[in-house]
Structure 1
């Protein structure tokens, strides 16, 4: 192994046990503790939560509900942004295939 390989290994070892946010091609996000990776860039996370962005229909329903609750006597019209929460569930231990990873963030 050369110096670059050793530095890469040391860098990855320094990330073990850190909280990661991993975004995937299907727009899900996984938040968990980094356990390992391999040559194919697969990542294993433990204590992982999966987050899903709301569907377009859920966003549209929230926007419609926001518009309906606006009272015409109110001085300010409703804002152009609507808050819709992501859904989440506990996964536990998960392997995320490297080919589906779009972004990795270290918390």
Structure 2
């Protein structure tokens, strides 16, 4: 299972009205967790969440890039990027690997 954040999703959830300190604590709880980020150009990056900023730019460590494939059965070999910065305006969705989460409460886990 994975926790997923959509571009406009968090504003519709009740926890969106939580205080800034609670939001900060949730973000800090995601540090060094594996994330899968889908981008507007069809690429998907997978790596460790290292940091973000007010503009929703994301830094991933040990990142790998997966290209959008026309063949749905094969993803091909990932390209190793290492440290990667994803501009916030290119992020479509973010999934957090559920097995790396200690507490998924408050993140709307998809079943």
Do both proteins adopt the same fold according to a TM-score greater than 0.5, normalized to the shorter chain?
yes
CA root-mean-square deviation: 1.5
Q: How many residues in Structure 1 have an aligned counterpart in Structure 2?
A: 80
Tell me the residue number matched to 1:88. 78
Normalised by the length of structure 2, the TM-score is: 0.67
Structure 1, unaligned stretches of length 5 or more? Answer: 60-81
Distance 1:85 1:41 in 2: 27
Q: Which has the higher helix share?
A: 1
1:25 corresponds, among 29, 34, 40, to 40
Q: How does 1:1-107 map to 2 (within 5 A)?
A: 4-54=19-69, 56=70, 59=71, 83-107=73-97
Specify the structure having the higher radius of gyration (Cα).
1
How far 1:85 sits from its partner (Å)? 2.9
Normalised by the length of structure 1, the TM-score is: 0.70
Structure 2, unaligned stretches of length 5 or more? Answer: 1-17, 98-111
